[in-house]
Amino acid sequence: MPAPTLDQVIFPEQANHNFSRILGDLKRSNLSITNRLTSICQDAAFVEQVADALKLPLVANERCGSWYIDPVRKAGSAYFKSTDGHTGQWKFSLRRLNLHLLPLIGEKNGIIIVDSTRRGKRMPDALSKTLPTWCAVLNRALFPSPSPSSSSPSTTATGGAFPHHELFTPPNTVSASEASQMAALLPDFVSSFLSLKIDLTPLRAQLGGRPLRPFWVTQEDDLAALADGLATMGKKWNFHPVVCCTASRRVVGTGTEAGEAGGYIQGAGDDTENWALGLTAGMFWRWEGELLAAGEGELPGLIEGLVAKEEEERREGGGAVREVVKGKGLFVGLLGAEVGGEVCVVKLVPKITQREEWVKNKGCLEVGIGKSKAASRLLRDALPQVCEFVLAYLRESAQDATPQKVAVLCETGKDLSVGVALAIYCWCFDDAGNVRQDETDVSFNKASIRVRLGHIVTAFPEANPNRATLQSVNSFLMDWRK
229-258: average pLDDT: 81
The pLDDT score that the predictor gives to residue 479 is 77
- CATH class of segment(s) 322-478: alpha beta
Is residue 123 within 8 A of residue 244, CB to CB? The reply is yes
Q: Which one is predicted more confidently, 424 or 150?
A: 424
Query: pLDDT tens across 289-307, in order?
Result: 999 999 999 999 999 999 9
Query: pLDDT tens across 308-353, in order?
Result: 988 777 766 667 889 998 888 999 999 888 887 789 999 999 999 9
CA distances for 455 relative to 58, 93, 326, 332, angstroms? 26, 14, 9, 14
The pLDDT score that the predictor gives to residue 417 is 95
Side-chain half-sphere CA neighbours of 298 within 13 A = 7
Whether the pLDDT of residue 37 is over 50: the answer is yes
The pLDDT score that the predictor gives to residue 120 is 79
The pLDDT score that the predictor gives to residue 224 is 92
The C-alpha atoms of residue 137 and residue 337 are separated, in whole angstroms, by 37
Domain with CATH 3.90.190.10 in the chain: 322-478
The C-alpha atoms of residue 422 and residue 94 are separated, in whole angstroms, by 14
Cβ neighbours of 62 (radius 10 Å):
17
The pLDDT score that the predictor gives to residue 315 is 67
Query: Which of the four pLDDT bands, split at 50, 70 and 90, describes residue 439?
Result: low
279-291: average pLDDT: 93
CA distances for 249 relative to 125, 218, 245, 379, 482, angstroms? 15, 7, 11, 41, 54
CA distances for 253 relative to 20, 118, 121, 257, 264, angstroms? 18, 10, 10, 9, 13
The pLDDT score that the predictor gives to residue 442 is 74
Q: pTM of the full predicted structure?
A: 0.80
Whether the pLDDT of residue 182 is over 50: the answer is yes
Q: Which one is predicted more confidently, 23 or 214?
A: 214
Q: What percent of the chain has pLDDT over 90?
A: 61
441-466: average pLDDT: 88
What does pLDDT average to over the chain?
A: 86
Whether the pLDDT of residue 124 is over 50: the answer is yes
3-26: average pLDDT: 52
The pLDDT score that the predictor gives to residue 22 is 39
Query: Which of the four pLDDT bands, split at 50, 70 and 90, describes residue 272?
Result: confident
